[in-house]
Amino acid sequence: MGLSPENEFVLRVLRSHSGRGQIRIEESLPLLDWTKVVSVAKAQDLFPIFYHVLSHQGLLEVIPPSPREEIEEGYLESTASTLCYDDLLKEILPSFHRGGLPFVILKGPSMALEFYHPRETRPYRDLDLLIKTADFEQARNLLSGLDFRVTDPDRETHRRRYFNSVGFFRKRASDVHLDLHWETLMISWNRRPFLSSSKVWEEIRWLEYSGMELPVLQPQTLIPYLCIHFAFHHQFGKLLTLCDLDLAIQKFGREVDWEEIVWQSREMMIRKPVHHSLMLAASLLETEVPGSVLRALGKGQIGGKLFPLNYLIFREKPLNTNVERLAKFVLIDGLPGKIQSLVTFYRQR
């Protein structure tokens, strides 16, 4: 994959943050197109990582004043947002516990607490909670009691049926957003349970934070989930999620059963998204993914050659809706899944 100097610099910062070398191109930093670098970093929520890496290595003062100020301001804004959601988490968790409502924290704070050092380098601008399908009405009522409202009431039924999630928001001094999930969006074309399987709920892990116990996914589920999220939800255009995947593998890669991940990917018909995500983590961030896993998952695939990866990965704005749909369609394993996705698409119209 041919990369521009700006995109290569973005990757160097991310690799340095994960402990893979210092940035040793001080003399060329002012020569980069910083408008391009900052645009990618801003669109992909990378300002906290940039600020930490560049300031820690004494390079922040080397770059031109305007992009330096934008990175600093972005870092401060992101930190303020993270603190706001930390307070929200401390408010919501006891309410869920009192209601006897089981949940799992997806992404955001669970990633920051376990994998990012310092944790403020992992920004999050909403909370994502996994609940059981049967508990949605109880969770909805609980959130209503905390002054949350459905973000788009007119499409609530639609989102429940086809997206397996509903968004909520609360307006106070600052708006906060929360999404309830009970399955991945794959359920629209793949009826096999993934996040809703009994195994996920039986094997919850617990992280301690500020006197609270936070329920999170087991690594065996977390790694393929991050792959699916990176591929299907972001269409490879969220390098922060790729960093999540990289750091999760860095910590748990020697413990997880990779053969089971390969088997599960085939059984769940998610071989393409898992393979492409792992391949990109290995090639872009130097993640230590076993070669045998990449070969097993990639055997016989040709779809990856159809992706304009440079455009998808380093994009500075959301995809056109039709391009997004096409990217998802190509990633679906097997003809039956593709046919079912088309049926679902026309039912939504």
pLDDT at 259 over 80: yes
H/E run at residue 322: helix 321-331
Q: Which residues contact 114 (CB under 8 A, 6 or more apart)?
A: 207, 216, 251
In Å, what is the CA distance from 33 to each residue of 162, 314, 326? 41, 14, 31
Whether pLDDT at 303 is above 60: no
Percent of the chain whose predicted confidence (pLDDT) is above 90? 64
Give me the pLDDT at residue 347, please: 66
What is the tens place of the pLDDT at every residue in 66-97?
Answer: 999 999 999 999 999 998 998 899 999 999 99
Cα 284 off chain centre by: 16
Mean pLDDT over 198-225 rounds to 93
pLDDT-based confidence at residue 187 (cuts at 50, 70, 90):
low
Q: Copy the structure tokens of residue 6.
A: 């700006």
SS3 of residue 269 by DSSP: coil
Whether 287 and 14 have beta carbons less than 8 Å apart is answered as: no
Question: CA 313 to CA 319: how far, in whole Å?
Answer: 11
pLDDT score of 26: 59
- Domain of residue 307 covers 5-348
What's the mean pLDDT when you consider all of the chain?
A: 89
CATH at 261? 3.30.460.40
pLDDT digit string, tens, across residues 94-113: 999 999 999 999 999 999 99
How many domains does the structure of the chain reveal?
A: 1
Q: Report the predicted TM-score, pTM, of the whole model to 2 decimal places.
A: 0.93
What average pLDDT does the segment 286-295 reach? 96
Residues 195 and 182: beta-carbon distance below 8 Å: yes
Q: What's the length of the chain? A: 349
